[in-house]
Structure 1
Amino acid sequence: MADETALHDFPSLFSLKDKVIVVTGGSRGLGLNAASALHHVPQSQGLRTGRRPAQQAAEPGPGARAISVPADSATMAGIESLLSQVQQHTSHVDVLFANAGATWGEKFDTHPDSAFAKVMDLNVKAVFNTIRLFAPLLQKRASVEDPSRVLITASVAGLGIGTLGQQATFGYSASKAAVLHLGRNLAVELGPRHITVNSICPGFFPTKMANGLLEMSGGVEKHAQGNPMKRLGRPEDIAGIVVYLSSRAGSHVNGAAIELDGGAMWARGSLADAAGDEPSAKL
């Protein structure tokens, strides 16, 4: 009888050796944080994409290789171009991090249709099409013991109430709720193909996309003090969850939505209840 307490090859549990990883939206923000973390992992093979020139990521770890690929995930032609460019470097992909996204802040009465459509297209439809086109590459080396992985950048705004008022992000909140449910559907659809699908739900991280909203809503320190952990997200936080989900340690996690906000979403709810306010008043 097998020893049920035995751990198989524990030292390699978080290894990404020989993994080919594609990160969309990897030229800045959380995508750059993830790409930098993956560069550090020895013997991993990373391809990161973005429409803008990439900021300098960390130097690749021993035996690792990183390639920057220009691509616009907002259009079908851009996704097809991305796939074509990736195929010039590899015939398979082990991890796809669908991270590219956008937001738009505008009050309810003047919120433009074009802005709502742009955010929904990039944050939901483009994610679906990227995963759909990359599925054949993800299946190439996938197995029961070592499934391929799809990671989706969602948000706590898709789990609760997002930003309201003068800089309301209606399309962003709706898109992140939609992509979370898309991820659950794809987890069940692609599981039998040995591909897991999980969503990461960050709260506030000081990034270019979030900094303007942080300043308009009281500043970094105010938000940090309102967090149960008394800080906002750090690059290491996103890096850690991406490595975990991409490695053997996360091979049986499928259909999950992992909150990465230090508990801030739940703290806002308790404060609102205590004050008798609507939860949105605290966002």
Structure 2
Amino acid sequence: MSLHEQVQLKNFDSIFSLEGKVAVVTGGSRGLGLHAASGLLQAGCSKVYITSRKAEACANAAAALNKLPNKRPGALAIAVPADNSCTKELERLAQEVRKTTNHVNILFANAGATWSEKFETHPEGMFTKVMELNVKSVFYLVQKFLPLLTVNATVEEPSRVLVTGSVAGIGLGSLGRNAVFSYSASKAAVMHLAKNLAVELGPRHVLCNAIAPGFYPSKMANGMISIQGGTKHLEERSPNKRLGCPEDIAGLVVFLSSRAGSHLNGAVVVTDGGSHLKGNL
């Protein structure tokens, strides 16, 4: 192969484009899910379905997304509220999405919950709730959406499943008075689940990857950020001297959903500026 041939890259000018793709984002009404939904729309998706438990929050998020000035003409954010902790609701969610599309290209399983309490009084009910929403519901979400994910999927154009894990599932989560035992265990489990799904669904042209965020300021994370010493303290501990921002998560989700990420399957991508590498230093 000549040097001239080696420097040629196929359609590289559109390698990050999601032109015409259809995406579903659970936990999409706020925080990381909403940032990702914004990125997906701005990268070219024609439809982005926003789902979370509260109907009003979903509607408000979709309305804000539909006001984005640089989304493609005709592109829509569509609110479909559902309780992701209930398998029957996941079935209904898939049925509702089917009413306005016959396929899904990108499924971002982002809905999650946490609970913090010391070891001696950590409640069984909340442990179960966190594990069921963060792990079990992800499995059944993918199961219910698989028929939509495989409609147009090919070797050249595979569909994507993205799962939100956490650095708490890689190292240690918070311990002591504000321990997050169920959250840490659930995130380790869901990232391992993504690896299993990658091998199971890869031959059906559905790629499955996980992201492992560190601290990103959000409604769910702000309390733990405060407990860990506050934003400035955590920024100083981070090798890149800052916490995550909306563009970081949106850019990563777009990358993994685009042709640029089409040879990643079963990967866990840590997005924390390198903080987890320092451990307790």
| Structure 1 residue 118 corresponds to structure 2 residue 124 | no
Aligned to 1:188: 199
- What is the alpha-carbon root mean square deviation over aligned residues? 1.3
Find 2:72's aligned residue among 62, 72, 85. 62
8 Å Cα contact 1:38/1:44 also seen in 2: no
Aligned to 2:146: 135
The superposition leaves residues 22-46 of structure 1 with CA deviations (integer Å, 9 ceiling, x where unpaired) of: 0011011100111111222235321
8 Å Cα contact 1:46/1:65 also seen in 2: yes
Aligned to 1:242: 253
| Structure 1 residue 199 corresponds to structure 2 residue 207 | no
1:174 Cα deviation from its structure 2 partner = 0.2
Aligned to 1:7: 9
- Matched residue type, 1:124: V
Aligned to 2:28: 26
Task: State the alpha-carbon separation in 2 of the partners of residues 65 and 4 from structure 1.
Answer: 39
Task: State the alpha-carbon separation in 2 of the partners of residues 88 and 107 from structure 1.
Answer: 45
* Equivalent residues in 2 for 1:47-196, closer than 5 Å: 47-52=49-54, 53-54=57-58, 55-56=60-61, 57-58=64-65, 59-60=67-68, 61-63=71-73, 64-196=75-207
The superposition leaves residues 103-132 of structure 1 with CA deviations (integer Å, 9 ceiling, x where unpaired) of: 000000000111110000000000000001
Count residues with an aligned counterpart: 270
- Matched residue type, 2:46: S
| Structure 1 residue 45 corresponds to structure 2 residue 47 | yes
TM-score computed with the length of structure 2 as normaliser: 0.93
Aligned to 1:35: 37
Task: State the alpha-carbon separation in 1 of the partners of residues 228 and 10 from structure 2.
Answer: 48
8 Å Cα contact 2:21/2:44 also seen in 1: no
- Matched residue type, 1:215: S
Aligned to 1:281: none
Aligned to 1:276: none
- Matched residue type, 1:62: R
Task: State the alpha-carbon separation in 1 of the partners of residues 170 and 132 from structure 2.
Answer: 19
Task: State the alpha-carbon separation in 2 of the partners of residues 20 and 91 from structure 1.
Answer: 10
Task: State the alpha-carbon separation in 2 of the partners of residues 241 and 43 from structure 1.
Answer: 15
Name stretches of at least 5 consecutive residues in structure 2 with no aligned partner: none
* Equivalent residues in 2 for 1:216-255, closer than 5 Å: 216-255=227-266
1:84 Cα deviation from its structure 2 partner = 1.0
1:262 Cα deviation from its structure 2 partner = 0.2
Task: State the alpha-carbon separation in 2 of the partners of residues 106 and 235 from structure 1.
Answer: 28
Name stretches of at least 5 consecutive residues in structure 1 with no aligned partner: 272-283
Task: State the alpha-carbon separation in 2 of the partners of residues 217 and 7 from structure 1.
Answer: 46
- Matched residue type, 2:72: P
- Matched residue type, 1:20: V
TM-score computed with the length of structure 1 as normaliser: 0.92
8 Å Cα contact 2:16/2:43 also seen in 1: no
Task: State the alpha-carbon separation in 1 of the partners of residues 101 and 169 from structure 2.
Answer: 34
Task: State the alpha-carbon separation in 2 of the partners of residues 218 and 29 from structure 1.
Answer: 21
Using the aligned pairs only, state the percent identity: 56
